[in-house]
Structure 1
């Protein structure tokens, strides 16, 4: 019997209702179904007095989800999608992401189109688009304190975000650089349209094998966003006397003290998005963010005097 999974946002009544209907539909079509909420992929927060507050990356997989799961349907908004891929990526399970929220930048379809989309999926009429994820780790005296799988971005900032701080950053084998800013963002191409975009970073197409570093409100004209190969790891040393906070995917994180080291690298796991049509990134940019829309004052013809 084929096996499918459902991950849904149990804080949204519509997602709960659709999850029940979807489970019944799949079972009537001869599928075994495993169900979980997105809560299991939410990252914990550590405290200065309890720095170790995380599960290993591989331990976030929901019960009964295994490599026999052919696909999962994720019901929620972008936050649920980010949470779900932390649960699914270690097993390589592809997911159809269904928007029951507002922006839904990471979702493939809307809830009112779910069941026609399901019919296509059951016929195998879909593609899989793989997106880069990051492994983020916090070390203190070379002891691993905290780790997470990241699809969008990792952010380090002061708490509260009111003053400048310094970061010493080493990318791959390149010379270490010093950046003075309110904070720092390391993002994937998927995350380039999230916080990094708001901080002035460039939009990067999902299939480009790069990462980017974007300072938040840098205190220098020379400190600007940097795009570099995703084959290079990143080490960040907080050259700051006061504790800072690291947040992954806007969801959870930990405190960082001057003796700590934050390490990032491209994860061996990927987020595998089910696409019902050929992936068309520019269309999503236009529909969700208004990029490339024609100017309303653009003349349709030119009259010569």
Structure 2
């Protein structure tokens, strides 16, 4: 019996309803179905104990990357249907990436930049999915790790970005950043963002970073409100490991994909690298990234009024 999974946003009634209906439909077609909520992929916020820091000061709710897989989900599944908005997609990616499962993402939210289709097209999409008429697109992810005295305190998978900033956000910080074997650099800013190509259209875009097409194997570093005209976004190979050292006496906040993270003190080190796990997306038609940019973000839209070549008399 083939096996599939469903991950849904349980705070949205429409997502709960569709999850029940889809489960029934798949089972009637001879599929074994396991369900889970996107809540299981949320990271939560944690705070290490106060100084003096020791290796015992570990975040009590820290969950290792491969332990976020939902119960009864395994690599025998053919696919996972995700019902929700972009937040649910980010959560689901952390839950199923270690298993290498492709996700059919269905928008029950608002923008849905990461989703493949809207609810009104779900029936046709499921028929196409069951017929095996689809492709799988892989997106790179970041492994984010927080170390203290070389001991791992916290880690997470990130599909969009990692952000490190002062709490509250308004306040200048210094960051010493080492990328691969290159010389370390010092950046003074309110915070920094390290993003994947997928995350280039999220927070990094708002901070002035460039849009990167998903197939390019790079990361980008984008300062948030830098205190220098010379500090601009940097794009570099995702094979380069990144280590960030807080060069400030203040406690900082590390946030992964906008939904969870940990406090960082001056003695800590944040380490980032390309994850061995990729997020896999079911594509029912050829992916056209520029079309998505135009439809979702208005990029490259034709001007409403263009100057006329006619000379006025």
TM-score, scaled relative to structure 1: 0.98
Instruction: Write the distance in 2 (CA, Å) between the matches of 1:28 and 1:298.
Output: 55
Q: 1:303 aligns with which of 293, 296, 310?
A: 310
Map of 2:181 onto structure 1: 173
Instruction: Write the distance in 1 (CA, Å) between the matches of 2:209 and 2:191.
Output: 13
Q: 1:258 aligns with which of 247, 266, 279?
A: 266
Instruction: Write the distance in 2 (CA, Å) between the matches of 1:143 and 1:171.
Output: 21
Instruction: Write the distance in 2 (CA, Å) between the matches of 1:26 and 1:48.
Output: 44
Deviation of residue 303 (structure 1)?
Answer: 2.8
Q: 1:275 aligns with which of 274, 280, 283?
A: 283
SS at 1:136 equivalent: strand
SS at 1:269 equivalent: coil
Deviation of residue 99 (structure 1)?
Answer: 0.3
Alignment of 1:153-302 (within 5 A): 153-299=161-307, 302=309
Partners of 1:215 and 1:225 within 8 A in 2: yes
SS at 1:157 equivalent: strand
- Over the aligned positions, Cα root-mean-square deviation in angstroms equals 1.0
Instruction: Write the distance in 1 (CA, Å) between the matches of 2:311 and 2:244.
Output: 60
Deviation of residue 51 (structure 1)?
Answer: 4.2
Where in structure 1 are there 5+ consecutive unaligned residues? none
Map of 2:52 onto structure 1: none
SS at 1:40 equivalent: helix
SS at 2:277 equivalent: strand
SS at 2:146 equivalent: strand
Alignment of 1:77-116 (within 5 A): 77-116=85-124
Instruction: Write the distance in 2 (CA, Å) between the matches of 1:289 and 1:108.
Output: 15
Instruction: Write the distance in 2 (CA, Å) between the matches of 1:126 and 1:302.
Output: 46
Instruction: Write the distance in 2 (CA, Å) between the matches of 1:5 and 1:260.
Output: 38
Deviation of residue 128 (structure 1)?
Answer: 0.5
Instruction: Write the distance in 2 (CA, Å) between the matches of 1:214 and 1:304.
Output: 45
Partners of 1:51 and 1:255 within 8 A in 2: no
Instruction: Write the distance in 1 (CA, Å) between the matches of 2:128 and 2:274.
Output: 32
Partners of 1:168 and 1:176 within 8 A in 2: yes
TM-score, scaled relative to structure 2: 0.96
